[in-house]
Amino acid sequence: MALLLALIAVMALSLIAAGLYESSQASWEENTLSRARYQAGILAESGLSIALHPDIEPGDVALRHELAPGRGWEVRITSEGGRFPVNSMGEERLRLAAVEMFVLWGLDAATASRVADSIADWIDSNSDPLPNGAENTFYAGVDYPQFPPNADIASLEELAFVSGMDQVEKVQPFWRDHFTVRSDALIDFNAASQPLIQALTGATADAAANFVAVRNGDDGIEGTVDDYTFDDSGEVQSLLGISDGEWSEFSEFVTLAGTVKRIESIGKVGDFTETRVILAEEVTEGRNTILRPLTRFRE
CB atoms closer than 10 angstroms to residue 87: 19
Q: Which residue blocks in the chain are alpha helix, DSSP H?
A: 2-51, 92-105, 109-123, 136-141, 156-159, 165-171, 194-201, 205-216, 233-240, 244-248
**Buried b or exposed e, range 110-149, using 16+ CB within 10 angstroms:** ebbbbbbbbbbbbbbeeeebbebbbbbebbeeeeeeebbe
- pLDDT score recorded for residue 288: 79
Give the model's confidence band at 218: pLDDT under 50 very low, under 70 low, under 90 confident, else very high. Answer: confident
User: Looking at the predicted structure, is the pLDDT value of residue 19 above 90?
Assistant: no
Is the per-residue pLDDT at 122 higher than 90?
yes
pTM for the model stands at 0.83
Distance CA 206, CA 109 (A): 22
Given a cut of 90, whether residue 20 has pLDDT beyond it is: no
List, in order of start, the domains of the chain with CATH numbers: 86-176 (1.10.40.60)
Query: What confidence tier does 156 reach under pLDDT thresholds 50, 70, 90?
Result: very high
- Name the pLDDT band for 267 (thresholds 50, 70, 90): very high
**Residue 104 and residue 115: Cα distance in Å, rounded?**
14
pLDDT band at residue 290 using 50, 70 and 90 as cut-offs: confident
Mean pLDDT of 241-269: 95
Mean pLDDT of the chain, nearest integer = 89
Nearest to 261 by CA among 75, 23, 78, 42: 78
pLDDT at 193 over 70: yes
Under the banding of pLDDT at 50, 70 and 90, the label for residue 204 is very high
**Mean pLDDT for the stretch of residues 223-230:** 86
| pLDDT tier for residue 7 given thresholds of 50, 70 and 90 | low
* Main-chain dihedrals φ then ψ at residue 174, nearest 5 degrees: -105, 35
Q: What is the CA radius of gyration of the chain?
A: 26
pLDDT score, position 2? 62
- pLDDT > 60? residue 42: yes
Provide mean pLDDT across the span 166-195: 96
pLDDT > 90 fraction of the chain, expressed in percent and rounded: 68
d(CA 95, CA 82): 16
